[in-house]
Structures are given as structure tokens and as C-alpha cells.
Structure 1
Amino acid sequence: MIKILIVDDSPLIQSLLKEILSQAPDMQVVGCASDPYQAREMIKQLNPDVLTLDVEMPKMDGISFLKNLMRLRPMPVVMISTLTQQGAPITLEALEIGAVDFVAKPTTNVANELHAYTELLQQKVRTAASANIRRRPVAASAPAKPQQEIEFRLSHLVAIGASTGGTEAIREVITRLPKNFPPVVITQHIPPVFSNSFAQRMNSLCAMQVHEAEDGQVIKIGNIYIAPGGEHLLIKRDGGKLVCKLSQTPPVNRHRPAVDVMFDSIVDQGLAKRTCALLLTGMGADGAKGLLNLREAGSVTAAQDQASSVVWGMPKAAIDLGAAQATLALNDCAAWLVNQAKK
């Protein structure tokens, strides 16, 4: 049984979350705390496996509590708050501090939507319960100072896919890439509101220029393009150029954007032999088949290892398929990408 402690100052939200989570046969809500101080004592007494945590609470806000928690007693946390929809920067900060994932508070009583929310919340709690939090960063590290003098192949392309735990894994990789590095395209499973904030945050940390990808945007050296939430990112040829193509076709592997869609577009355009692809931490198997297709078409491929992954789902699926030529610790990914792109 997964033991869950709910931390939220609203009795109504406490009751609703308890009802939703208690429906799962493998979950037990062991308590509800109305503020971080009460939560601190209940954690000591009840030893929960997963915490659900609100952002806005009396006495101490959720972010401050999360910082203390990850410093003193690291444990899996799923952020649940109305602020996750409008307050994308706050949510990204929570992930940076060490929260495994986030979900908005339920805002509807419509039966089918509440059913979907129930499945989503239970899934995120299960994932959090099995997450590897030993290597979660307590705070963002200072941006690396990558070398600028390396010469890279002009036609090279890098493709990266990630899901749960991916925002921070991506940061660890791309902040170590030099300003003149070949173009990078990224699909991270992320809601629409958050992809722009994520791109802006990465742009402030990276030597390269980071964008939320736009339809028709030309792909250039020294630039990183992140798939917008809610839209697939495909890579297309346009004469002698490569461009980003956005699509709202149905979700693939239950995701839009989907990593498989981006990877397969590279194969479809005959770009595999000039592409280096990397699959990072994430739940499920999205990207595994796409990575295999890339490898079989001539790409150089790698997947993150278990020890450094928050959730070793997508990388494991790729490794099991034989899609990854290399299995890498997160700290080694940037250097591997740089070596693959050298002239």
C-alpha cells in the first residue's frame, strides 16, 4: 500500500483528494494536514510514502516547506494547487527544488472530467511512490560554462525526449552545451501553460538560445526548440532548411506532444544519419519505438541510466527494445552529445 499524507489548508480539497485517492486499491490516505507545521509532525508519526502538497497555505507557503523537506527528509512530493495552472514559474520552481510532479486542483464536478482527473492523480502518486529522489537537486546549480571554441558538424541535429523528472534533467544537459552547438529539438511532456515558462527559464540559464517552438520556425545552429504543451513537434525540410512543424493531431502514447512523433518525423524526412538522439527520465514508453526507428535509420542513440533517472520508464523501455546504443548517467549526457557533434 502507498501511504499518502495530504497537505492542504482547505477541508473541502482535503476531503475530495482523500476520496479520490482512497478509491485506488493500492493507496491509503494516512492523514490530512492543514499547514506545514502540522505536516511536519504527521510525517514523523505516520512515515508516509508520498506527500501531496498545496502551494498557498497559512503559516508557511508550500515552496518554503518543500525546501526544508528536501533538505532534511527528502521524500516523493506531488504538488497540487490552483497555482499550477496560472503560476507556472512557481510550479517549475517546485520541480527544481525536488517535487516529482504536479497536478492542478480539481475544478469541476462533471462526472467524466472528474473520472479523468481521478486516473491522472492516482497515476502521478503511483509514479511518485516509485521515483528515485536520491539525486534530486535541492536547488538549481549554477549554469555551466561550456567551452566555446569547439568546431561542430554544420548539418548535425540533436533530439531529446523526456517526461516525469525531465524538466530538471533537460536543464542539467542543455546548460552544459556551448553557444555554437548544433540545433537541439526537445519534446517534454508538459501542459500548454508551462512550456513557455519552461523555455524562458531555460533561456535564462543556457549559453544557447531557447525557444518554445513556433510553427514554421527555422531551425538554426545555437538554438534549442521546445515543443509547446498540447502540440506535437515535427521536424520538416523546407528547401535547404529545417523547420519546426506543429500539429494538433491526436495524442500518441496518451501524450501531445509525444516524443515518438518528433523522433519519427526525423526518420521520415531522411535526417536520421545526421541526428543524435537522447531519451531521458520519464514514465511509460513514449519515445522508445521512435528511438529504435532512429537507430535503425542511422542515428546515434542513448538513454539515461536507472541510477540518475527520477523515473526509469521511458529509458528502460528504449533499452529493452535495443534502441539505445549507450546508457548514460545524467551528468555524462552533455559531454556525450558534444563528442557526437564534433567535426
Structure 2
Amino acid sequence: MTAPVRVLVVDDSLTMRGLISAALKSDPEIEVVGTAADPIESRAAIKALNPDVVTLDVEMPNMNGLEFLEKIMRLRPMPVVMVSTLTAAGTDVTLAALEIGAVDAVAKPAVASAEAFHELIAKVKAAARSRVRARGDAPAGAAAPNAYRAAPDHILAIGSSTGGVEALLTVLGGFPADCPATVITQHMPAAFTASFAARLDRVCAPTVSEAVEGAPLKPGHIYLAPGGVAHLEVSPGVQPRCRLVASDPVNGHRPSVDVLFESVARLKRPMTGVILTGMGKDGARGLLAMREAGGHTLGQDETSCVVYGMPKAAFELGAVERQLPLHRLSTAILDLCADPAARSVA
């Protein structure tokens, strides 16, 4: 029998520590080995208990939560799942935590109950299987080529999940202002996608926004599926547009990567699909549809993934033409999407 995942629960609220612990203890594959109220207690508990995963409150007393997370990632890298309040400040701090190296994040429920933390159980289990790097050892994305020009009719679709914040920042950080028209589905709580799109827009050369119904896809623009609300599709036509479909979850997700990829596969135009780090298999079937429709397909390789789940499922299905480490994906994507008259050398 596989040993249970050993978890340390960190939250300044006694009530919240109890609720999170009760939720995790309801799964026989998880053992809560301890709790802590602040970073000082947490530091001692980590040394004494050596947990597999830490759940960490975003807002902590006695030490800035991000400062504490940076210390963990630098001195004792381990899987951390952030538990965030749904405030503007809370979402910004959570996104910063994911950039620093937290594996994933969940939102604190509006109504306090153990049942409301059901999502946390799956994320803790995935975190225990994740690959966590020491702070600062992730390679930066390659710089965008000079005088790059995207093919005006090319559509780029990207899917990601656990570990996707870091992966997308790396990939998109290597894009020039005139990048291919890009649509992205990243599994993320509803409260976080608008903040994440704004963060990407600040640090990337292209224009990044949360997708809205009817938005035309244009080079130099990146559209991020809104979390939890609807699936993002691309509608066919002379001018492809974003379409938000509030249908049931697919593969347990809304938005689903499969839904996005399958809609792009139906466009009958030049296309490239990319599947990045994440747990599960969402996106594998849709990426295969893109490849069978004549599109190019790339996958993040196992070594550079936080969780080699979605890319592995796609690769084993035959949906991935090439697997590449994260820091090489920007260059490969841009080469596939370039105007043939200005194509760079891979």
C-alpha cells in the first residue's frame, strides 16, 4: 500500500486550520501530520515533521507570506499549495506565490465547511507528485527574434494547468509584440484569471487580456479563458473570434483545454497547439484533433514540468510532434507561427 501524503496545514485562523484538516483527513490517502498558525511555527514544524506538502495561508502574521515562501523555495524546496481569500490583494499575492514556486492555489470558500475544500484534496495529492525546483533555478525563456512577423492567419492555442503560471510567464515572456494570435486555457479559480491576464499584460510585449465574447483574434494579442465561467472556443469564419460557452465541465474542468483545442482544429487554417505542465489528461484529445487537422503540436517535456500529466497523456496518445524543455518552447512556437517570408532558423 502506498504511504499517505503527509501534510502540514498553515493558517492563522484556528477555525480554518480545523476545517482544512478535517477536509484532508476525510481522504484515506492523506495524513495531516501537524498544523501551524504562522511562519515561525511553520518553520519549526517543517523541520520536525518533514511533511510532503504544506498548505499555506496567503495572509500570515509575524512574517510576510511571500517572504516565507521564498525562504522555503530557496532553503528547503517542497510542494506548497496556497489557500487564498477572494480579495484583489489576495489574488495578487497568490499569483506572486505561484511565480515564486507554489505548486497550486485554491480559494477559501465563502461559506466555511469541510465540504467546500474538496478541490484541495486533489491538488494536495498532485502537489505530492510534483517536481519542485529551488528558487531561481528555472531557466528564462529565450528572447524574441529581431524583426519577427507572425503569419496573419495563424492561430496559436495553449493549454496548461498545475505549474502553468510559471510556464506561461516563461513562454509568453519570450514573445515579441507581433506574436501570433494566441488563445489560452489555464486551469485556474475564477477569481484569479483577470488578475493573471493583467499580470501577463504588464510583463509581456504583446497585449494580454481575459477573453470576452466576440473578441476578434488578432496578431499581437493573447486571450486568456476566464476561470470557472465558461469554455473558451474559437468561432470559425473569415475573422475568427472568441466564443464563451457556459456548458458543463469537460474532464472535470471549465474552461477545458480539450474544448479550446477541438474548436481550433475545426478552423481549417494554419494552427499550432501547445500543451504545458498540468495534472490529468485534459487537452490530449483536442491536441490530437489539431494534429490530425494538419496543425503543428508541441509538448513540454517531463524534466521541466511541475506535473508531467497533461503533456504525458498527449504524448502517449500521439498528439505531440515534439517535446521540448520549457525554455526552448518560445523559439520553437514562434518559428512555427512565423510569416514564411520572415521565418527564423529553429
SS in 2 for 1:69: helix
After superposition, the Cα gap between the structure-2 partners of 1:132 and 1:226, relative to the gap in structure 1 and judged at 3 Å, is same
SS in 2 for 1:88: helix
1:97 partner amino acid:
I
Within the candidate set 40, 44, 65, 2:68 is matched to 65
1:253 partner amino acid:
N
Give distance in 2, aligned partners of 1:75 and 1:259: 28
Give distance in 2, aligned partners of 1:195 and 1:208: 17
**Alpha-carbon offset, residue 89 of structure 1:** 1.0
Mapping of residues 100-139 of structure 1, within 5 Å: 100-108=103-111, 114-115=114-115, 117-134=116-133, 137=136
Within the candidate set 225, 228, 231, 1:227 is matched to 225
Cα contact 1:84–1:91 (8 A) shared by 2? no
SS in 2 for 1:31: strand
Q: Which residue of 2 aligns with 1:255?
A: 253
SS in 2 for 1:290: helix
Within the candidate set 282, 304, 320, 2:300 is matched to 304
| Runs of 4+, deviation exceeding 3 Å | 83-86, 135-141
SS in 1 for 2:236: strand
SS in 2 for 1:199: helix
**Alpha-carbon offset, residue 334 of structure 1:** 0.4
After superposition, the Cα gap between the structure-2 partners of 1:135 and 1:335, relative to the gap in structure 1 and judged at 3 Å, is farther
Q: Which residue of 2 aligns with 1:149?
A: 147
**Alpha-carbon offset, residue 135 of structure 1:** 6.3
After superposition, the Cα gap between the structure-2 partners of 1:176 and 1:131, relative to the gap in structure 1 and judged at 3 Å, is same
Q: Which residue of 2 aligns with 1:182?
A: 180
Give distance in 2, aligned partners of 1:138 and 1:54: 25
Give distance in 2, aligned partners of 1:28 and 1:131: 18
Aligned identity (percent) is 46
Q: Which residue of 1 aligns with 2:327?
A: 331
Residue 205 of structure 2 is aligned to residue 207 of structure 1: yes
Q: Which residue of 1 aligns with 2:343?
A: none
Q: Which residue of 1 aligns with 2:163?
A: 165
Cα contact 2:58–2:90 (8 A) shared by 1? no
Q: Which residue of 1 aligns with 2:192?
A: 194
Structure 2, unmatched stretches of 5+, are: 341-346
SS in 1 for 2:197: helix
Within the candidate set 276, 281, 291, 2:272 is matched to 276
Cα contact 2:80–2:103 (8 A) shared by 1? yes
Structure 1, unmatched stretches of 5+, are: none
Mapping of residues 87-102 of structure 1, within 5 Å: 87-102=90-105
What TM-score, normalized to structure 2? 0.92
SS in 2 for 1:192: coil
Cα contact 1:96–1:140 (8 A) shared by 2? no
SS in 2 for 1:12: helix
**Alpha-carbon offset, residue 83 of structure 1:** 4.8
Give distance in 2, aligned partners of 1:84 and 1:48: 29
**Alpha-carbon offset, residue 8 of structure 1:** 1.3
Point out the more displaced range, 189-198 or 150-159: 150-159
C-alpha RMSD of matched pairs (Å) = 2.0
**Alpha-carbon offset, residue 144 of structure 1:** 6.5
Cα contact 1:96–1:137 (8 A) shared by 2? no
**Alpha-carbon offset, residue 47 of structure 1:** 0.7
SS in 2 for 1:261: helix
Give distance in 2, aligned partners of 1:4 and 1:120: 15
After superposition, the Cα gap between the structure-2 partners of 1:29 and 1:85, relative to the gap in structure 1 and judged at 3 Å, is farther
Residue 32 of structure 2 is aligned to residue 22 of structure 1: no
**Alpha-carbon offset, residue 139 of structure 1:** 9.3
Give distance in 1, aligned partners of 2:139 and 2:18: 34
Point out the more displaced range, 55-64 or 209-218: 55-64
Give distance in 2, aligned partners of 1:340 and 1:135: 32
**Alpha-carbon offset, residue 43 of structure 1:** 0.8
Within the candidate set 314, 319, 339, 1:318 is matched to 314
Give the number of aligned pairs. 335
Give distance in 2, aligned partners of 1:320 and 1:329: 17
SS in 2 for 1:245: strand
